[in-house]
Structure 1
Amino acid sequence: MEKRKPVKIGVVSDTHLHRPRPLPEPLANGLKGVDLIVHAGDWIHPDTAGLFEAFAPVVGVAGNNDGPDIVRRFGRRLTLEQAGVRIGVVHGDGGRLTTEERAWEAFKDDPPDVIVFGHSHIPYKGQRGNTLMFNPGSPTDKRFQPRYSFGILVLDEGRIVSAEHVFFDK
């Protein structure tokens, strides 16, 4: 039986692009060669997905700043499987709890292996039980963070090989 190659996933959130424009060069370079792109919401402009689709297939969810067209296309919550790893995706917005806690609450009844979330623009990687909690930060709207960021997940045969943030300056 032939062994499959690991799956490399680009992870982004909170792009907040009000009009389509080229992606930042470090992000574009970092997405070259990924097998899939996961976006955790706040795309803003409906054509933003097309910018990412130039690199790989795109899945994701809508965030609290996305309009009805984006909500219809992506929905507010997603569970998918890649390389035998279950991934839950949610934006993480809401009125109570921290962003990480809200992301966990969305999947607590059937926790996936990884929960990808956004909303806070704060890069985060931590464990909650057997679940990796991963927020890529934002590659275009760093707010109070020192650097822009996105993430790369590498999955293989039911395990998370790596989950790393990529930081850059404009």
Structure 2
Amino acid sequence: MNIVILSDTHIPGRAKKLPSVLAEACGQADLIIHAGDWQTLDVYFELSAYARTEGVAGNVDPWEVIDKFGRQKIVDADGLKIGVIHGDGLRKTTERRALEAFEGEQVDIIVFGHSHIPVSRQEGGITLFNPGSPTDKRRQPRYSFGILEKNGEAWTLDHVFFDSKD
């Protein structure tokens, strides 16, 4: 199973379309997970043309995105439990808010966005993963998204970094 993980696309605000490297990865995906700040449902329609697309709303998303996705969910990816949240809020770090949102839940991975800062680390047996942004790198050196590959019980989760959002 091949899963593309992304967040903070901010289309059409930060880009007019998905970067070609991301679109190519989506063409190989079995599932796409978006951790919010889509800005428009058009991004969902484009992604869902490639593969089943799950996600949550972020802090800049309009009501129709919030209504469609909600703000938090757990996605079952062939037995792998993936908590998804944007991570915005008051006080604490984005990572801490994401981790605390799934306290008491049985998740293997927590995917979050908001900061546009790529993160991949373990805490308490859970992988915290922020894919960064494929269209708005802010102060990061490169644009990014994630690829999760699952084969039976084994899985790997890595960032894909690239230099141009074209």
User: TM-score, normalised on structure 2?
Assistant: 0.94
CA contact (8 A) 1:13 1:136 kept: yes
Pick aligned residue for 2:152 from 157, 161, 165: 157
Residue 15 of structure 1 is matched in structure 2 by 9
How many angstroms apart in 1 are the aligned matches of 2:24 and 2:107? 29
| Structure 1 unpaired stretches of 5+ | 1-6
One-letter amino acid of the structure 2 residue matched with residue 9 of structure 1: I
Which digits, 9 at most, give the CA deviation of each residue in 1:48-84, with x for residues without a partner? 1112112111000000000111000000001121121
CA contact (8 A) 1:150 1:165 kept: yes
CA contact (8 A) 2:11 2:17 kept: no
Pick aligned residue for 2:87 from 76, 92, 95: 92
Deviates more, 1:80-89 or 1:59-68: 80-89
How many angstroms apart in 2 are the aligned matches of 1:59 and 1:30? 16
Residue 138 of structure 2 is matched in structure 1 by 143
Task: Please state if 1:33 is matched with 2:28.
Answer: yes
Residue 42 to residue 91, structure 1, CA distance change in 2 (3 Å): same
One-letter amino acid of the structure 1 residue matched with residue 62 of structure 2: G
CA contact (8 A) 1:115 1:133 kept: yes
Residue 131 of structure 1 is matched in structure 2 by 126
Aligned pair count? Answer: 163
CA RMSD of aligned residues (A): 1.3
Shift of the alpha carbon at 1:157?
Answer: 3.0
One-letter amino acid of the structure 2 residue matched with residue 147 of structure 1: R
Which digits, 9 at most, give the CA deviation of each residue in 1:94-151, with x for residues without a partner? 0111111000010012140000000000000000111110000000111111100000
| Structure 2 unpaired stretches of 5+ | none
User: TM-score, normalised on structure 1?
Assistant: 0.91
One-letter amino acid of the structure 1 residue matched with residue 22 of structure 2: L
How many angstroms apart in 1 are the aligned matches of 2:37 and 2:157? 22
Q: Quick one: percent identity of the two aligned structures?
A: 50
Task: Please state if 1:72 is matched with 2:63.
Answer: no
One-letter amino acid of the structure 2 residue matched with residue 15 of structure 1: T
How many angstroms apart in 2 are the aligned matches of 1:158 and 1:100? 26
